[in-house]
Chains A and B, each alone.
Chain A
Amino acid sequence: MTEHHHDERATCRELLKSLSDFIDGNLDESLCVEIEKHMAECDRCQVVVDTLRKTVELYQNIYPAPPVPDEVRQRLFVRLNLDDFLSRRQPEH
């Protein structure tokens, strides 16, 4: 392993810590620039960032969100003595 290669991997590791903030847009401008500069030279990190962003996006957009089953809502309202409000429609999420 060349010294150069070793240094590069150290940068990759260092940047890993900031990736969550980076994809959320919560990072200082200077650090963003640093990450973007590194990604331009490092395919590995580019792929990690792209797939990390895609991962979060998939969960935010297509992850199934099970609704509360009707009978679960019914039992909940009975338990809370709210049965007289059961007929009101459940809001959509």
Chain B
Amino acid sequence: MKSFKHVRPSTISEVSSILNKEKAVMLAGGTDLLGVLRERILPAYPDKVVSLSGLDELKYISEEKGVLKIGAMTTLNELEKSDLVKEKLPVLTEAAHSIASPILRNSATVGGNLCQDTRCWYYRYPHSIGGRVNCARKEGNLCYAMMGENRYHSIFGAARVNDPPCREKCPACTDIAGYMEKLRTGDIDGAAQTIMDVNPMPAITSRVCAHFCQEGCNRLRYDESLNIGSIERYVGDYILANADRFMKAPGSEKNKKASIVGTGPAGLTAAYYLRKHGYSVTMYERMKEAGGCLMYAIPAYRLPKDIVRRFVAALENMGVEIRCGVSVGTDGLSMEEIYQKSDCVMLDTGTWKRPLIGVAGEELTRFGLDFLVDVNNFIHERPGADVIVVGGGNVAVDVAITAKRLGVPKVSMVCLEKREEMPAGIEEIERVLEEGVDLVNGWGPKRILHGPGGVNGVEFKKVTSVFDKAGKFAPRYDEEKLMEVKGDVVLMAIGQKADLGFLEGEFQVETERGRIKAVEGSNTSVEGIFAGGDVTTGPATVIQAVTAGRNASVSMSEYMCGDLDITSPAPCLHRFDPISRRRDPAVKQRVATTSERSLEKEDASGISETDLQKEIARCFNCGCMAVNPSDLSNVLIALDAFIVTNMRRISAESFFTTDTRVPRTLEPGEIVLEVEIPLPAKETILRYDKFRLRKSIDFAVLSLATAYTVRNGYIADARVVLGAAAPIPMRMYDVERFLIGKIPSEAADEAAELALKDALPMENNSYKIDIAKVLMKRSLAF
């Protein structure tokens, strides 16, 4: 057992204050907790155990004004043996009696029963035998029951316990599983909304993102990652096609004005959220068209400009004013003016300046980014006949391929890094090779070779290492080992800098390493000026900029008006398609063959509706499948009971359904003190039926708590709660509604079918459906 300290306070406030201050856990009877501690199933443990056994004041059962009150430290044996309970609520006696064994009931408490941890066998797998199972409910993210042994697990889907890895890896924290689920129910509008809660431009991000989400997908353990990118693109295109519905002008105006300098993804995103919430937004852009890197840096074969234009147009339709061709600070419009006119300002001016690295002859080279901008400005001129691209990142890749597609016969790409160290993504590197670019790894430029006719090559020196021991970029060279590469044009793609000239020194916006310093909340050092995107981070990714834009919009809104609530609540149980159990490869987008490729036409085409359906079915909707083990929970919900803590009084239903991990339901320092049960009307028929393998000790395989108020032979009110069927006790609202006004015995069959209509069994637990139906029918056999 993990060692810990032990304290046994005698007052509730002492317990609470220890829990608040230390890494401590409460111990009541210990029957559940000591098992958890002994087997070391959790990755992290508390240092201290606070025994509640000194709190004698929590041991009681009493009746007050028609309400039965049970102290949390009452043992299950005391509950079971209580004459008061037997007389007033025999169903509770029954439920208590069904728990564990007589020996355990002597120690186990009511509070402990409500707060006990799950019994999933993966979760409880002892550390001493080959190591704990670090599943989703712990710190991991894969639920082993999904594809494994799941006969005692949920038949109604999963509870979200941690963010699934896809969401965790997404810089925007997109609820990927959530929108996949909506797509499966045919709710594409809902899916679109889920994405737009965090990212207004999925048509764009889906095309240019490296899809960090896919790197984490749990399906990788079985076959292939879900092709999230293609699904996102499908939804993104749908949004653009229906932009009039998804990007509407706000219903009411806030009469506050935000200005945004720069129209890259961060600025556009901030503009969207601000406008959506009724702010008036004006954007300033020095180029001819809005979009920043989306428009001018990323080649059209990856991101067709039409997509960017449609998104920008939709923003304008929402009422965002975009003024292009205005270079703030030089074109007669100063920062000062903008600042004065607006309630707040955001800077998203990106990194468009060329860094100089001090190589002899550097002035004879061309800045790769400028080259891309030119091409995006329809200057489709071959830069030369023999092009050398220096750099190993994604921009270098874009530069090299663009040159190639302009018809340059020979393009060499030379970078410091070894192939596996290159900052460019694997897919990008593959693309470079496919297109016939000559990729040379492990060399750094020493000097530019030139003659009277201009550049004629580059001399490189051998790199011995790129990173130092701490993993920091610190290239070292062997100055003796040299190599010459011939070429008539050198395109440098080795980084970008922010151009902060427009700040004119009037604004003491603090900078750091040539970038605007943005602290938490996207604030700069000047009040009312916010910043986001590459200008604060240095060259990053579109989705990071989108996230920065969204964060900036929240801060700006807070600054101008108070809160900006831009998330929607998530549902409780998460469903999947049983097909996800099959091992199938992912659906792929069609990518143009090398001979079909061009500068302007997008390489990848989207997936069809049929493929979309196939792919969304593969998502596990990752969560935890373990059922709630507590018998009392089901009965308490059926009885409309309340749980009283030292901080609040909550309905039993929300206590058990808010989060399936009690430590997360309870606040720090919160202690369950009492269960309050309003005594039901005389004519209420109560029942708790528990199906298990052995009559003693076993947890429920399935159970059913029912409370039927019957008048003149008809059901007037009903509570139906299925236990051990889902991660939460399942209150069957449909059945309850259906039963009202029915004669119990006549309604039984239909009620049973209705209760299990939405059941979603896994491989080994469909038998639970039959059991549940039988219990349902039995409950109505009177």
Decide if A and B are genuine partners: no
Residues of A within 8 A of B (CB): none
Residues of B within 8 A of A (CB): none
